Amino acid sequence: MDTKVAAPFAVGSKRTAGLAAVVAIATVFFVLGDADVRAGVLATVAVGSVLAISTAIRRYRPDDSRCWWALFGASVLFMFGVSLRSDPSTLTHSFTLLPDLFTLTGYLLVGYALSRWIRDRQSIDDITPLVDAGLIFLGTLFLSWLLFISPALESSQSSASTVVNGVYPAIDAALITLTTYLLYSSKPRTAALQWALIALIATLVGDVSYAFAATTADAPSSGLLDGIYLFAYLSLAMAALDPSMRTVSQRQDPAPAHSNRRVVFVVTLLVVCATVPLLGSAVSTGDLVVRSLLLASILVGAFLRGERALTRVQFGKEHAKYLAAHDLLTGLPNRTMLDEEYARHERSQTPGRTCILFVDLDNFKIVNDSYGHRVGDELIIAAARRIRAAVGAADSVVRYAGDEFIILARRDRLGAEALARRIIDRMNEPFPLSAATAYVTASVGIADADRLHDAIREADTAMYHAKSLGAARYALFDESLRARATSAMETTTALRGAIRRGELEVYYQPIVDTASRTTVVYEALLRWNREGRVCTPNEFIPIAESTGLIKEIGEWVLRSALSDLVTLRAHGQDVTMSVNVSPMQLRDDSLPTIVRGLLDEYGLGGADLALEITESVLIDDMGTAKSLLDRLAAMGVLIVLDDFGIGYSSLNRLRAMPIALLKIDKSFVHEIGHSESDTQLIRAIVAMASALPVRTVAEGVETEEQASIIESLECGFAQGFLFGRPAPIAHWLLESAQQR
């Protein structure tokens, strides 16, 4: 049997067996009928129940063991109280209240346990259950006064113990209220609490019976009363022995609110309490005073309870409204408040227009990925405080999404620029966080428009333009950015479906061995034939990355390159293939699986493929990239670092990656032969690469002089127009055929 099914079945079987045992013992108890036997059975069950509680505490080790030990103590006290009350002849006149002392102390321990469980489960200062229990206590005490206590006081045979007997039902009712609240305030309902509730209900029935026995000659038999308490003891033992006893204090999923039921119950009780006095008149002035005080207490308590309920409802509505309109992390208004805040600024008499400043944190993802989301949240909170401190009192700051903030302010152009600079300056200061001190800057876009959402879109565009200029900058939206944004949107629309329409094509540029001048590798370079014009990757790859199209395009390029590699080899060329990989692709955990599948599909090995990455990968997302690159390198795929020398990667990061080749950026190659410093720089790069050890490729070789110097510097491979411009595969197949 499935364990998920078997576990509840086993628990249900145990409960059924326990209930059957309770019924069996109770049946035997009544059938035997003999007073001595009943007393012996009751004593045995009471002692067994006490031992069961202590055994369960040691076995299950609940977190709230103090509460269960309190119930253990209460059971012991009840045991003494019941035994003494059942044989009052053993008590002297001075100790007639001793059973009640034991019993009342036991009730205090039960109340302590229930109150502590409520506190632990709620974890808030909600005294509503205690207020309800108090009202139930007063109402039941009022009924007990009318039915039991007042008649007992008028009787010549009344005693203090008789009066106390009338108080027990009120205490039972209050404890039942607390237990019921615990049981129905969360899901799933705890079996241990269900058994405890049964035990308390049985105790209430027994206490009412005893109170009734003290005021009338037509009382239930002692056997029946003792049987009720026996049932209560057995139920309490079942509560302790159920495995769910260890989770009574743990906070669980809240159950649907039953406040309406509770209010109906309390109101019904008040109606009963108010109508019972009409059934008879007070027998004395003292009786009348007590009735009046109890009824007044109930009515005042009910009024206060109702006021509290209304206050909590109103507070709940206001709190829910606040939560819906504010960011929980920073306390700032969220994006749902933008329209309201914009309308407020538009109504303002402050000179200027309502400007939108779109603030985005630079390199926030590095902090988040390096130190975790908790530290990332610390950074967001600190950044929000700095932004709030930088703006004016009348300005609005809204957390828009993630690490993005929107500021609404009445400013002219110069005022908006000054505010942007002030925010950037505040962000340039280090952020002391719990895990480390972070250095994060901000980019700001500024715009104003007649409509809010147009202004947000334009400020967002300006912000991305500011990022493209470098970190910690701001930019104002203008018509040139509008044209650029429109062009980007048109490019995005056109790029979708470009593969299906056959507009994308892969060109190839040879990489040669500098010693033999033979082609050993082809680099795959993507081109887009858009409306009769061939577009280079710089024109559309950034858009493909920002829209998520890069995954589809990158896989298509990889497939095309490997297919063409098979074709080139079939025509006699002993070459391998090099393909550029976007940083976005290196965040996709499925990349190694895709590469492995394509290599297998075309019957190629890992060494037949090289993947080229840029230095930004080593800076922006090193952890994720390293994991993927290690998996690719384990397959034999060569990892190539492109455009080396113009980025900011450290040697330590370079050494940590499975880099097989460095491609020296063409900006250094162009000046060799004319600039001694560039020649020496290339010499240093080659020496450093040899020490790692990593092989080198010189990019941008266009003259024989450059090729000779590159060869003399012991750079193993070269690429550039001197050896061939990027061209479709047909060109290289034709050239191969002509050479043969």
DSSP 11-50: HHHHHHHHHHHHHHHHHHHHHH--HHHHHHHHHHHHHHHH
Residue at a domain's end among 314, 349, 369: 314
Per residue in 435-457, pLDDT (tens digit) is 888 889 999 999 987 889 989 99
Q: How far apart are CA 664 and CA 701, in angstroms?
A: 11
**Is residue 296 domain-shared with residue 379, that is, in the same domain?**
no
Alpha carbon distances (Å) from 282 to 102, 146, 147, 159, 328: 32, 9, 12, 20, 59
Alpha carbon distances (Å) from 551 to 377, 557, 583, 584, 594: 30, 10, 11, 8, 11
Question: What average pLDDT does this structure show over 239-254?
Answer: 74
Helix/strand/coil for 724: coil
Alpha carbon distances (Å) from 333 to 323, 377, 391, 498: 9, 17, 15, 42
Alpha carbon distances (Å) from 693 to 577, 649, 655: 22, 17, 9
Q: How far apart are CA 499 and CA 53, in angstroms?
A: 73
**Is residue 302 domain-shared with residue 362, that is, in the same domain?**
no
Looking from the CA of 112 toward its CB, the CA atoms found within 13 Å total 17
3-state per-residue secondary structure call for 517-548? CCEEEEEEEEEEEECCEEECHHHHHHHHHHHC
User: Quick one: pLDDT at residue 462?
Assistant: 92
Helix/strand/coil for 432: strand
Q: How far apart are CA 309 and CA 350, in angstroms?
A: 44
- Give a yes or no: residue 493 inside a domain: no
Bridge partners, 407 (sequence order) = 357, 397
- pLDDT for 554 beyond 90: yes
* Nearest alpha carbon to residue 408 among 443, 356, 450: 356
Q: How far apart are CA 297 and CA 135, in angstroms?
A: 9
Residues 666/710, Cβ–Cβ less than 8 Å: no
Length of the chain: 740
The CATH number of whichever domain residue 401 belongs to comes to: 3.30.70.270
**Is residue 291 domain-shared with residue 384, that is, in the same domain?**
no
User: Which tokens go with 374?
Assistant: 């908790």
Question: What average pLDDT does this structure show over 480-492?
Answer: 81
pLDDT range class, residue 166, cuts 50, 70, 90: confident
3-state per-residue secondary structure call for 244-299? HHHHCCCCCEECCCCHHHHHHHHHHHHHHHHHHHHHCCCCCHHHHHHHHHHHHHHH
**Is residue 208 domain-shared with residue 250, that is, in the same domain?**
yes
Residues 601/568, Cβ–Cβ less than 8 Å: no
User: Quick one: pLDDT at residue 736?
Assistant: 80
Handedness of CA 119, 120, 121, 125 (dihedral sign): positive
Residues 724/510, Cβ–Cβ less than 8 Å: yes
Q: How far apart are CA 121 and CA 113, in angstroms?
A: 12
**Is residue 89 domain-shared with residue 231, that is, in the same domain?**
yes
User: Quick one: pLDDT at residue 505?
Assistant: 95
Q: How far apart are CA 504 and CA 302, in angstroms?
A: 78
Question: What average pLDDT does this structure show over 246-253?
Answer: 68
Looking from the CA of 669 toward its CB, the CA atoms found within 13 Å total 31
More confident residue, 420 or 71: 420
Q: How far apart are CA 523 and CA 28, in angstroms?
A: 92
DSSP tag of 149: I
Question: What average pLDDT does this structure show over 395-415?
Answer: 92
- Give a yes or no: residue 339 inside a domain: yes
- Give a yes or no: residue 496 inside a domain: no
User: 494-498, 522-526, 614-618, 641-645: which has the highest mean pLDDT?
Assistant: 522-526
pLDDT range class, residue 2, cuts 50, 70, 90: very low
The CATH number of whichever domain residue 660 belongs to comes to: 3.20.20.450
**Is residue 288 domain-shared with residue 343, that is, in the same domain?**
no
Pairing of strands 253-254, 186-187: antiparallel
- pLDDT for 75 beyond 80: yes
pTM over 0.85: no
- Give a yes or no: residue 327 inside a domain: no
User: Quick one: pLDDT at residue 389?
Assistant: 93
**Is residue 285 domain-shared with residue 345, that is, in the same domain?**
no
In the chain, the percentage of residues whose pLDDT exceeds 90 is 30
- pLDDT for 123 beyond 60: no
- pLDDT for 721 beyond 90: yes
User: Which tokens go with 302?
Assistant: 């009910």
User: Quick one: pLDDT at residue 722?
Assistant: 94
- Give a yes or no: residue 398 inside a domain: yes
What is the amino acid identity at position 709?
I
User: 30-34, 237-241, 729-733: which has the highest mean pLDDT?
Assistant: 729-733
Residues 711/669, Cβ–Cβ less than 8 Å: no
**Is residue 15 domain-shared with residue 59, that is, in the same domain?**
yes
φ, ψ for residue 357, nearest 5 deg: -110, 120
Residue at a domain's end among 477, 493, 527: 477
Of 197-201, 439-443, 643-647, 721-725, the range with the lowest mean pLDDT is 643-647
**Is residue 305 domain-shared with residue 398, that is, in the same domain?**
no
Residue at a domain's end among 458, 477, 496: 477
Mean pLDDT of the chain: 80
**Is residue 301 domain-shared with residue 401, that is, in the same domain?**
no
User: Quick one: pLDDT at residue 288?
Assistant: 54
Q: How far apart are CA 414 and CA 419, in angstroms?
A: 9
- pLDDT for 657 beyond 90: no
- Give a yes or no: residue 499 inside a domain: no
256: exposed, middle or buried (Cβ count in 10 Å: 0-12, 13-18, 19+): exposed
Contacts of 379 (CB under 8 A, 6+ apart): 361, 364, 367, 368, 431, 433, 438, 440
User: Which tokens go with 38?
Assistant: 């009943």
**Is residue 473 domain-shared with residue 555, that is, in the same domain?**
no
Q: How far apart are CA 541 and CA 415, in angstroms?
A: 36
Q: How far apart are CA 465 and CA 479, in angstroms?
A: 13
Q: Which parts of 191-258 are beta strand (E)?
A: 253-254
Alpha carbon distances (Å) from 482 to 359, 380, 470: 19, 30, 20
- Give a yes or no: residue 543 inside a domain: yes
**Is residue 293 domain-shared with residue 341, that is, in the same domain?**
no
Contacts of 29 (CB under 8 A, 6+ apart): 38, 41, 42, 226, 227, 230
Helix axes 128-144, 160-184, angle to 10 degrees: 150
pLDDT range class, residue 278, cuts 50, 70, 90: very low
- Number of structural domains the chain divides into: 3
pLDDT range class, residue 564, cuts 50, 70, 90: very high
More confident residue, 539 or 635: 635
Whole domain around residue 362: which residue ranges? 335-477
Question: What average pLDDT does this structure show over 625-653?
Answer: 82
User: Which tokens go with 249?
Assistant: 């204090």
Of 44-48, 209-213, 239-243, 567-571, the range with the lowest mean pLDDT is 209-213
- Give a yes or no: residue 492 inside a domain: no
